Amino acid sequence: MNKIQKLALTYVVIMLCVIYGYMVGRFQVFPYHFVETLVQDFEAFAAGDQLENKTSVIEKLQNDFGWNWGRVLYPYPEIAVMNSRAIDHPALSKRKEPPRVFVAPEHQQGYRLVIGAMDLENAFWGGLLLGPAGDILHTWELSMSDLPGERAEGSAVILYGVDVFPDGSVIFNMGKQGGGIVKVDACSNVVWDLPGLFHHTISGDEHGDFWTFSGLDSTFDQDMIKVSVDTGEIVQRINMEDVRKANPRISIWDLDGGAFAWTANTNAKVAGDMTHGNDIEPLPQSLAADFPQFSPGDLAISYRTTNLIFILDPNTLKVKWWRVGVTDTQHDVDWESGGILSIFSNNQRTRKTSDVISIRPSTYEWSVAVDGEKLGLFSEIQSSHGLSPYGTRMITSAQQGWVVEVDENQERVFSFINNLDFENRKALHVSDAFYFDADYFDEKFWEQRCQKK
């Protein structure tokens, strides 16, 4: 075969490839569906998730191979590490600098627990139990490898819903639809798992159960389930379509057609993420007298997209109260003494500093409980807050890798930074934090030598 024949053959082969490529796209013949899946997977990978830091494709690959932490790495303000010291523990890997902590001398009491991307030797996600002075007493490995099912396509691998119990056990899920729910004991051994799609919250009540959202967070109806802490069995389901039918004269879920445009601008599907439930908090009996218009077990629910907080009777499915617009893209609604609901207002769309907002349901009055501008506090997603047993307020800023506790004057009395680079002020993601009094745990499990089964 001479040179001209070779060129002619090459040309014919190229033309056949072009023609067949056109047929693949035009008539969806083989391997159209295979290629389409690859393209969709790549586009989802390149876009990343709303829960994670925005990074390039190269940075995502480096992150997933364990060469950096770009997906969950954030800057933090200088105040976060003022007067802090490094704390270390054998379970922490040596790939990053140790966390840093500050505890005011007059606030060295009880136990603080921080959950997040701790980069332990055997698990990237985990929990650290801190003693009164801030030293690490115990660690939990909260591994995605313990999840019983597959994650939803495009779901971020970020520890999200979590709760901690007096026996040292932890219940958690991963990402927005993280492949199920897992309970581990104090030694990080799996106690039970619940396959399925669940998201955002693990909210324990006083009767041995917890609440979470069931399904995808992008669906319009945010269904809910109540699950036994001991067995992992589902004991109640609430279908939001039934809730809407039970409240025909209340139209608070499809509040704003503009939400379509907002979700479109944040890499969400235009037809989805119209409600985005992210917290369910049952009213405890101990606070019922402070909320005479509600009953113990009523659920305070947060819908992020529409800036909506509402109170639902889980038995009659009647909506008893709602408030819209006092908070912006909020998380973590809590019942508090004095008849107050307090919420972490992320303020993603507005102020670019996050606050804690308090609302009195009986009068609809509201106030700023913690002004985030003073602290340099800002997290577009996730994050939480809560009153401690000692009257202070603990705040988790997920996208700063920072847990800060303030007193009644909003002065910093405790600070934990999940430090990666002290010189350049970079930290890894923090998911949640808790403050327990000295009698919360049944026993000092951290003094025992744990064995991983």
DSSP 416-442: EE-EEETTTTEEE-EEEEEEE-TTSSS
Q: Which two tokens stand for residue 389?
A: 């047993």
**Neighbouring residues of 209: CB distance < 8 A, sequence distance ≥ 6:** 226, 227, 228, 229, 235
Q: What SS3 state is found at 130?
A: strand
Say if CB 93 and CB 66 are below 8 A apart. no
* Among the listed residues 170, 98, 175, 173, the one whose alpha carbon sits nearest the alpha carbon of residue 401: 98
- Would you state the pLDDT for residue 194? 95
- Would you state the pLDDT for residue 269? 45
Run of H or E residues at 236: strand 234-238
CB atoms within 10 A of CB 354: 31
Q: Which two tokens stand for residue 312?
A: 């639902």
**Residue range 280-330, pLDDT digits in tens:** 999 999 999 999 999 999 999 999 999 999 999 999 999 999 999 999 999
> Domains of the chain (ranges plus CATH)?
65-447 (2.130.10.10)
How far, in Å, CA of 88 to CA of 406, rounded?
A: 24
Ranges of residues in the chain with a pLDDT under 70 are 1-70, 150-156, 176-178, 256-272
How far, in Å, CA of 250 to CA of 248, rounded?
A: 6
Helix-, strand-, coil-residue percentages of the chain, each rounded to 5: 20, 35, 45
- Would you state the pLDDT for residue 148? 82
- Would you state the pLDDT for residue 69? 63
How far, in Å, CA of 374 to CA of 355, rounded?
A: 10
Tell me the C-alpha to C-alpha distance, in Å, between residue 2 and each of 7, 374, 394.
9, 79, 80
Max Cα distance, the chain (Å): 96
- Would you state the pLDDT for residue 60? 47
CB atoms within 10 A of CB 100: 21
